[in-house]
């Protein structure tokens, strides 16, 4: 699956959940609370393939899934730049000290597995928008 295909599918799934919550009269705080990992595993088991195993994508006590992807992630399915024989497909806009680059043959991808920035409630509260794609607008480099 390409970054773009995942991004678009996730945007659709996220929007469906948020629209349901808004229709129930949920406000910002209640929406963010709803996306706590423990609740999502039970209430939205199809939102993430890891939910079936009750497994978190990051090792942290209070994981919030509102920003399943990070607004600081940048990607291009066509490649962002060439580095000799390698192509960079994704990167971190803030050069997080907890992120790293993964090299897979001639492809270089951002590895965010050590970074928890977008999964903290305080960060989500700061960048919150009911439109996930607006929060994530800077991520796509193919447009």
**Distance in angstroms (rounded) separating the CA atoms of residues 18 and 130:** 7
**Residue 85: its pLDDT value, please?**
96
**Residue 49: its pLDDT value, please?**
95
**Distance in angstroms (rounded) separating the CA atoms of residues 36 and 66:** 8
**Distance in angstroms (rounded) separating the CA atoms of residues 10 and 42:** 18
Q: What is the dihedral of CA 101, 68, 96, 84, to 10 degrees?
A: 30
**Distance in angstroms (rounded) separating the CA atoms of residues 89 and 1:** 13
**pTM higher than 0.85, yes or no?**
yes
Question: Under a CB-based contact definition with an 8 Å cutoff, are residues 72 and 96 in contact?
Answer: yes
**Residue 42: its pLDDT value, please?**
97
DSSP output for 16-51: HHHHHHHHTT--HHHHHHHTBHHHHHHH-TTS-GGG
- The pair of three-digit structure tokens given for residue 122, joined into one six-digit string: 């305080």
Parts of the chain with a pLDDT under 70:
143
Query: What stretches of the chain adopt beta strand conformation (E)?
Result: 73-75, 81-83, 86-88, 90-92, 100-104, 107-111
**Residue 78: its pLDDT value, please?**
96
């Amino acid at each position: 699956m390409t970054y773009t295909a995942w991004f678009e599918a996730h945007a659709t799934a996220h929007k469906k959940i948020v629209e349901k919550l808004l229709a129930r009269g949920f406000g910002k705080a209640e929406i963010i609370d709803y996306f706590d990992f423990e609740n999502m595993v039970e209430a939205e088991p199809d939102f993430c393939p890891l939910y079936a195993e009750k497994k978190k994508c990051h090792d942290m006590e209070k994981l919030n899934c509102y920003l399943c992807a990070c607004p600081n992630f940048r990607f291009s399915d066509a490649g962002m730049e060439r580095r000799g024989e390698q192509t960079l497909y994704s990167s971190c806009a803030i050069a997080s000290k907890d992120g790293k680059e993964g090299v897979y043959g001639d492809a270089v991808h951002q590895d965010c597995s050590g970074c928890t920035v977008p999964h903290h409630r305080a960060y989500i509260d700061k960048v919150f928008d009911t439109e996930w794609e607006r929060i994530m607008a800077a991520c796509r480099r193919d447009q």
